[in-house]
Structure formats: structure tokens, C-alpha cells
């Protein structure tokens, strides 16, 4: 008998899989052909829906069986994720040659609702564009004294770890796996990229706990990965070195990895943050990052595992007086010379922008510059710099812009992410999963864009709204989510300059918070102007890391897009943008507008009382109060700062402090 569909603990939000989403399937007669763990999961889904809505499900009926409305048929065992979908002669048929494909096909039918059972539809092939669609959880097992349990987590504690160990009751982890499968995610890394002492042990003596989590996620086609410390041979193995070319180090990793696969046969592999923000790495031994990555790739290779090696390597102890060092350049400068040196099961995981998940950054020039290396692109669903899941900031349009960016004028980022698309997860043990109930849209959208990077994000948003809320409040929800990223951009750091956040926790404004710090995140505002000169002619040369046409477009303030202007150029406050406004007037106008837009969104949300679930609504009301307070604080600090620096009054005479 298949395991039942995971039960949500009392009070936990069903997110995009409320019972009603299964009404169309649950009122039909379904035949399921095939066997295996994931087919069992599909069966359990349909069985539960039928029990609720009065339909029927049969497994493996022979010829002569009564007619069915829906047939889910597994025609092979090749492990692929594709499926075909056809509607003919009043019957809907999903076929797949791998179990995961069958499960994804069922969720496709669920998304279509009644449309899956009306009219005729010629055969369609559905296959994920990217083989790896992954969430990295920055979860600690032990609560970290500064970062708490989930680093940059805004949704409560960890879904996986509690009281210093893996949860005994993994029912909610099963439910999480189900939600992820329903939007197309197939891999999860279960611990923070900053691997602290307790978490280092997950690799060895505590692998059983990871295996338990892997067991809970497996029925929904999700493979488990682990963040490991590059110093593990020393920390765990007692060796005097972690030198990647040392024979004893290589043997240690081979042995440790073999034991991991004894416990977790389908283990996905390792995630490594090395020589980055104080984490150990190969530089200590005079070795390259390719040497480091290949060490772990070799250990994983016999089992089909992958190492995800992060490219987030830069000098975090920079001198702010030094104008020649540019953090934005770092990943490209470190990694491009290594192109072609990485093993085939080593994936270089690159943040989508050259800095660090700001509301607006150009696409990292590393993407496209390493044709002989498998790259994964990393985005951040967890809204570290975009409102921390207290502000509504739907990131679909931003991610879509990144994925559809043509690095050389032709090739899209989405097609270059051969190693997959990865997001820092925004989920935790919060009853709404993501703090703000509307932040669920980011998680869902990420999964759908990872499946199809060129998908229209607005269509994905509509889909999420329909599944999660039904059709009633759709217009209002679209209104508050659609432009929320641009709204957030308006009231925070202007024109791509980034940061201006409170140091440490990164919430709320502090214009000079990082200006004289070692982190390499400066805006250089003075009485005359603002921005970072990253041109090749007079600046740090970062613009020259791009292929044509972008190196030319970004090189000059005349051609640089307005929204990136201060990322690439230092300009005077009276510089006139393509929009026709001066920089200073743009700053004032956008900050007033941003707050007005939050006020309007809040009104819309308030007006939805009675149309959406009261608990969700109440949480949203509370969050909107905070967003509005915070947006006003941003507006007033940014506007006052630039008014005081520049002395230029607002053309509209509005109040600036
Ligand atoms: C950011 C974030 C850190 C995180 C780091 C990373 O700098 O603030 O908490 O560890 O990114 O991506 O490794």
C-alpha cells in the first residue's frame, strides 16, 4: 500500500496544494499503470482526491476495464522527468518513461484543473529545460549565536533540524517535498553553506540524520545534497592538512563519500563554499579552485554525484580607501582562467549578479565566459536584501530578466545554466512556510522558471494565484504582486547602486552603513555625485568583463540603462537620465512613488478581507503595516541624505528632512 499523502500539521498553510486544487482530478475516474515509489506517490495523490470528491482510481487494470477520464501510464524505467500529455476522445492521458515524469504529469493535470478534462488537445511533450532545480537551505543544526538557526532565514526555524538534531517527526518535511515537486524542484541541500562545527559532522557520524531527511523527500523525486567543509579531513578526519593534491586527503574524501552512499544511495552530492568570507579552501595550500572542486568530484564520481562549487569568492577584507579593488570583478577574475579545468561532475555555482542578491544588479559577466565549464546560476528566494519576507517583493520578473538576458546578444542565461538553477530557500517552519504568505509566490515561481527559464513569469504568477487562492481574489492579488519588485526598488537604493542597508542583519536603510567598511560595497556619494565608475576607460574595468554588446553598452553613461547607471558610473546629481529626469530628481520621485505604491497595495490587501483565508489575511495585514513603516523610513533617509549632500531641492517642493 502506498504511503498516504503527507498530512499537514494543524494550522499549517496548504500553500499551492489546497484540497480544492485536486477537485477536477478527484471527481474523475483515473487509471494508473506502472510501479515504483513515485508512482505510489501519484497514486496516493489521486486516491486522496477521489476520497474527498467522489471519483475513483484503479491501479493496473487489464483490458476490458471500464472507460477512464484520466490515464497515467509509466512506459519505462529510465529515470527521466519528461512526460507527454494528450486529450483525445474524451480522455486525458499522461505517459512517461520515468517515474518522476509521471508525477510531474499528474501535477500538470492538477494545475490545469477542469481544463484538463474539457475539449481536445493534441499531444504535447513536457520536459524540464534544466536537469537540476535545486534549493539550498542555509539551515544550521545548532542555533548560531549571531545568525540564528536559518542564516538569512525569515520564516522561523528550520524545517529539517530541531533541538540540535534532525526532526523525529518528518511529516512536514514530506509535505514540503510534495510542494516542491508540484512546482518542479528536484534537489535540496539541507544545511548552510557556512558549515559550522556541529554541521560538519553531518558528513560522517551524523549522516544517518541526513539519510532520514532524504528518505522523507525521496517519494516526491527530490534528491538530497549536503554542504560540506573543505577542511573536513582535518576537522573530522584528524589529518594535518586538507591539501587537495595530498594522497591521504583524497583517500579520506573517497572513504567518507563511500560511506555516505551506503546510507543514501541516491545522494545528490556536495555544496562547497570555499575561500569565501572566511570559509576554508584550497588557497591555503597554494592550489586552485579547480583542484579543490576536482578533489570532491573524484570522490563523488563513482556514484554519479555532483559537487556544486560556489563562485562567490572575493576579498571581504578590503580597504575602503583602495579604489582599484572591485568586488564586482572578483568571481570573473578568479574563475575564468580556470575554464576547462573542472571535472565533468563539478558544477560552478554562480550568483546571478556580480555582487550579492541586490534588488538590481547586472547579470554576472562570468555567465557565458566559461564555455567549457558546467555552470549553475544561483538566485535568492530568501529576501535578504529585498524586504526579508516582511515586504512583498515578488522576484519573478527579476529572475526572468536574468534568465532571458542574452549574454552575447544571442545566448540566453537560461540556456547556459547547464548545471542547473539554484535558489537559496525562503521556507522554514513558519505556519505559512515563508513568513509573508505572499512570499510563497517566490518559491513557486522559482520552481516553474527552473523547469522553463523562458516561461512568462506573469503566467506563472496567475497559476500560483489560482492554485493557492482560487479565482475570487485574483485581480487584487495580481495587483499587489505584479509590480512589487519595482516598487521595492523605488524606495530603496537607487539606480543599481545597491546596499545602503543596515550592516549585519541587512534590514532597513543605512546609506553609509557599509561605506567605510571592508566589504567592498560602496556608493561613493559626495556633494557632486554618486555611483561607482566601473568603466574600462576611467574606472575599475569591470564593464570590460562583458562580451559584446554589453561591454560597450555599459561602458558609457550615454548607453548604460538607467536602472544600472550607478552600478557602472559615477555621475553628477544633475546628470540627465534617458527618462529625461536628473539623477537627483529621479531619486526623489521614485522614493515618493514607492511609498505611495505600498500604500495602495496595502489598501488592496485590506479590501480582500473575507475573500481570502482569515489567517493568511491577518498575517498579510501585519506585514503590510511593517512594510509601509519601513518604506517611509527608506524614503525619508534616502531623500534626506541626497538632499543634504547635494543641496538640490525637490522640483515638486515635497517635504524632505
Ligand atoms: C551573503 C549573505 C551571507 C551568505 C553569503 C553567501 O553575503 O549575507 O549570509 O553566507 O551571502 O552566499 O555565502
| pLDDT tens for each residue of 480-490 | 999 999 999 99
Give the distance (Å) from ligand 1 centre to CA of residue 570.
Answer: 27
Cα 322 to ligand 1 centre (Å)? 23
Q: What is the mean pLDDT of residues 120-135?
A: 97
Residue 657, domain member (yes or no):
no
Label residue 471 left, alpha or beta by phi (over 0 means left) and psi (-120 to 50 means alpha): alpha
Query: What ligand 1 atom has the least distance to the C-alpha of 351?
Result: 12
384 belongs to the catalytic site: yes
Ligand 1, atom nearest to 192 Cα: 10
Domain annotation covers residue 271: yes
d(CA 276, CA 314): 7
- pLDDT tens digits along 571-615: 999 999 999 999 999 999 999 999 999 999 999 999 999 999 999
Q: Phi and psi for 481 in degrees, rounded to 5? A: -95, -40
Give the atom of ligand 1 at the shortest distance from the alpha carbon of 506. Answer: 8
Domain of residue 510, CATH code: 3.90.1330.10
Domain count for the chain:
3
Distance of CA 227 from the midpoint of ligand 1 (Å)? 14
- Predicted confidence at residue 581, as pLDDT, reads 98
Report how far residue 578's alpha carbon sits from residue 556's, in angstroms, rounded to the nearest whole number: 13
99 and 170 co-located in one domain: no
Those residues whose C-beta lies under 8 Å from the C-beta of residue 212, and which sit 6 or more positions away, are 166, 170
pLDDT tens, residue by residue, 414-453: 999 999 999 999 999 999 999 999 999 999 999 999 999 9
pLDDT of residue 200: 98
Label the pairing between strands 374-380 and 306-310: unpaired
Domain check: are 44 and 155 in the same one?
A: no
CA 205 to chain centre: 30
Task: Provide mean pLDDT across the span 19-23.
Answer: 97
Same domain, 281 and 376: yes
Whole-number Å distance, alpha carbon 209 to ligand 1 midpoint, is 25
Domain membership of residue 632 as a residue range: 490-532+570-646
- The Cα–Cα gap between 440 and 355 comes to 25
Statement to judge: residues 151 and 94 lie in one domain: no
Question: What is the model's pLDDT at position 1?
Answer: 62
Q: Of the residues 196, 314, 380, 384, which should be mutated to test ligand 1's pocket, given the most ligand atoms within 8 Å of the CB?
A: 384
Instruction: Indicate which residue of 73, 81, 209, 356 is catalytic.
Output: 356
Q: What is the DSSP string of 34-95?
A: --SHHHHHHHHHHHHHHHHHS-EEEES--TTPPP-SEEEEE---S----EEEEEETTEEEEE
Q: How confident is the model at residue 65 (pLDDT cuts 50, 70, 90)?
A: confident
Mutate to test the pocket of ligand 1, among 277, 315, 330, 504 (most ligand atoms within 8 A of CB): 277
Element containing residue 533 per DSSP (H, E): none
Catalytic one among 13, 384, 463, 597?
Answer: 384
pLDDT confidence bin for 395, thresholds 50/70/90: very high
Residue 93 reports pLDDT greater than 90 = yes
Residue 81 above 80 pLDDT?
A: yes
Of ligand 1's listed atoms, the one at least distance from the Cα of 138 is 10
240-264: average pLDDT: 98
Q: Do both 588 and 642 map to the same domain?
A: yes
In a domain, 654, yes or no: no
Q: Distance between CA atoms of 653 and 645, rounded to whole angstroms?
A: 17
Confidence class of residue 60 from pLDDT cuts 50, 70 and 90? confident
356 is catalytic: yes
Distance 35 CA to ligand 1 centre (A): 42
Q: What is the pTM assigned to this prediction?
A: 0.98
CATH code, domain with 317: 3.20.20.80
Per annotation, catalytic residue among 88, 265, 277, 454: 277
Q: Which three cell numbers stand for residue 410?
A: 544571442
In this prediction, residue 73 has a pLDDT band, given cuts at 50, 70 and 90, of very high
Using a pLDDT cut of 70, give the percent of the chain over it. 100
- pLDDT surpasses 80 at 184: yes
- Quote the pLDDT of residue 78: 87
pLDDT of 512 over the 90 cut: yes
Q: Is the pLDDT of residue 79 over 90?
A: no
- Of the candidates 171, 7, 18, 10, the one whose C-alpha atom is nearest the C-alpha of residue 613 is 18
Interval between CA 352 and ligand 1 midpoint (Å): 13
- Per the prediction, the chain carries an average pLDDT of 97
User: Which one of 102, 126, 150 terminates a domain?
Assistant: 126
What's the CA gap between 615 and 195, in Å, rounded? 36
- Provide the grid cell at 596: 505611495
Name all residues whose Cβ lies below 6 A of ligand 1: 151-152, 193-194, 273, 312, 356, 384
pLDDT of residue 61: 81
Say if 212 falls within a structural domain.
Answer: yes
Amino acid at each position: 500500500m502506498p504511503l498516504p499523502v503527507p498530512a499537514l500539521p494543524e494550522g499549517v498553510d496548504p500553500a499551492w496544494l489546497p484540497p480544492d486544487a485536486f477537485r477536477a482530478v478527484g471527481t474523475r475516474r483515473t487509471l494508473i499503470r506502472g510501479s515504483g515509489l513515485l508512482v505510489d506517490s501519484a497514486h496516493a495523490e489521486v486516491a486522496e482526491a477521489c476520497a474527498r470528491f467522489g471519483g475513483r482510481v484503479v491501479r493496473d487494470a487489464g483490458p476490458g476495464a471500464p472507460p477512464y477520464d484520466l490515464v497515467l501510464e509509466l512506459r519505462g524505467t529510465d529515470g527521466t522527468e519528461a512526460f507527454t500529455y494528450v486529450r483525445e476522445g474524451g480522455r486525458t492521458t499522461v505517459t512517461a518513461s520515468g517515474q518522476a515524469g509521471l508525477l510531474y504529469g499528474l501535477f500538470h493535470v492538477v494545475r490545469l484543473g477542469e481544463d484538463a478534462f474539457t475539449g481536445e488537445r493534441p499531444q504535447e511533450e513536457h520536459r524540464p529545460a534544466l536537469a537540476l532545480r535545486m534549493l539550498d537551505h542555509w539551515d544550521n543544526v545548532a542555533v548560531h549565536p549571531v545568525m540564528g538557526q536559518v542564516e538569512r532565514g525569515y520564516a522561523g526555524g528550520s524545517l529539517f533540524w530541531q533541538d540540535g538534531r534532525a526532526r523525529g517527526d518528518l511529516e512536514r518535511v514530506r509535505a514540503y517535498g510534495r510542494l516542491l515537486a508540484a512546482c518542479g524542484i528536484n534537489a535540496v541541500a539541507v544545511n548552510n553553506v557556512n558549515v559550522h562545527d556541529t554541521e560538519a559532522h553531518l558528513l560522517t557520524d551524523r549522516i544517518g540524520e541526513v539519510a532520514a531527511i532524504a528518505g522523507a523527500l525521496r517519494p516526491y523525486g527530490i534528491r538530497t545534497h549536503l554542504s560540506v567543509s573543505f577542511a573536513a579531513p582535518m576537522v573530522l578526519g584528524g589529518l594535518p592538512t586538507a591539501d587537495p593534491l595530498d594522497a591521504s586527503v583524497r583517500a579520506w574524501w573517497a572513504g567518507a563519500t563511500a560511506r555516505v552512499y551506503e546510507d543514501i544511495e541516491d545522494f545528490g552530492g556536495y555544496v562547497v563554499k570555499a575561500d569565501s568570507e572566511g570559509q576554508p579552501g584550497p588557497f591555503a595550500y597554494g592550489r586552485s579552485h579547480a583542484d579543490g572542486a576536482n578533489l570532491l568530484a573524484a570522490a563523488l564520481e563513482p556514484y554519479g554525484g555532483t559537487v556544486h562549487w560556489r563562485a562567490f569568492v572575493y576579498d571581504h577584507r578590503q580597504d575602503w580607501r583602495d579604489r582599484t579593488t572591485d568586488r564586482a570583478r572578483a568571481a570573473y577574475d578568479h574563475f575564468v582562467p580556470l575554464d576547462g579545468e573542472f571535472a565533468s561532475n563539478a558544477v560552478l555555482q554562480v550568483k546571478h549578479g556580480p555582487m550579492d542578491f541586490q534588488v538590481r544588479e547586472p547579470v554576472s559577466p562570468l555567465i557565458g565566459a566559461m564555455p567549457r565549464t558546467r555552470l549553475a546560476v544561483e538566485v535568492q528566494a530568501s529576501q535578504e536584501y529585498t524586504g526579508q519576507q516582511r515586504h512583498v517583493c515578488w522576484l519573478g520578473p527579476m529572475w526572468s530578466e536574468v534568465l532571458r538576458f542574452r549574454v552575447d546578444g544571442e545566448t540566453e542565461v537560461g540556456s547556459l545554466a547547464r548545471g542547473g538553477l539554484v535558489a537559496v530557500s525562503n521556507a522554514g517552519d513558519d505556519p505559512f512556510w515563508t513568513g509573508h504568505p505572499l512570499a510563497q509566490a517566490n518559491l513557486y515561481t522559482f520552481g516553474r522558471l527552473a523547469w522553463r527559464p523562458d516561461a512568462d513569469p506573469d503566467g506563472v504568477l496567475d497559476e500560483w494565484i489560482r492554485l493557492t487562492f482560487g479565482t475570487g481574489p485574483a485581480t487584487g492579488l495580481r495587483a499587489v504582486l505584479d509590480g512589487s519588485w519595482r516598487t521595492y526598488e523605488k524606495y530603496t537604493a537607487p539606480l543599481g547602486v545597491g546596499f545602503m542597508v543596515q550592516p549585519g542583519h541587512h534590514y532597513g536603510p543605512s546609506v553609509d552603513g557599509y561605506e567605510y567598511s571592508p566589504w567592498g560595497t560602496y556608493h561613493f556619494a559626495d556633494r557632486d555625485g554618486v555611483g561607482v565608475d566601473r568603466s574600462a576607460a576611467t574606472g575599475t574595468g569591470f564593464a570590460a568583463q562583458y562580451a559584446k554588446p554589453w561591454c560597450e553598452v555599459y561602458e558609457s553613461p550615454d548607453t548604460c540603462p538607467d536602472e544600472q547607471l550607478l552600478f557602472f558610473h559615477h555621475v553628477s546629481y544633475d546628470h540627465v537620465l534617458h527618462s529625461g529626469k536628473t539623477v537627483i530628481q529621479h531619486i526623489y520621485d521614485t522614493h515618493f512613488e514607492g511609498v505611495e505604491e505600498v500604500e495602495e497595495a496595502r489598501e488592496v490587501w485590506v479590501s480582500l478581507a473575507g475573500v481570502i483565508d482569515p489567517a493568511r489575511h491577518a498575517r498579510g495585514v501585519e506585514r503590510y503595516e511593517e512594510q509601509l513603516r519601513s518604506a517611509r523610513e527608506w524614503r525619508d533617509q534616502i531623500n534626506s541624505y541626497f538632499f543634504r549632500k547635494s543641496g538640490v531641492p525637490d522640483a515638486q517642493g515635497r517635504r524632505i528632512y
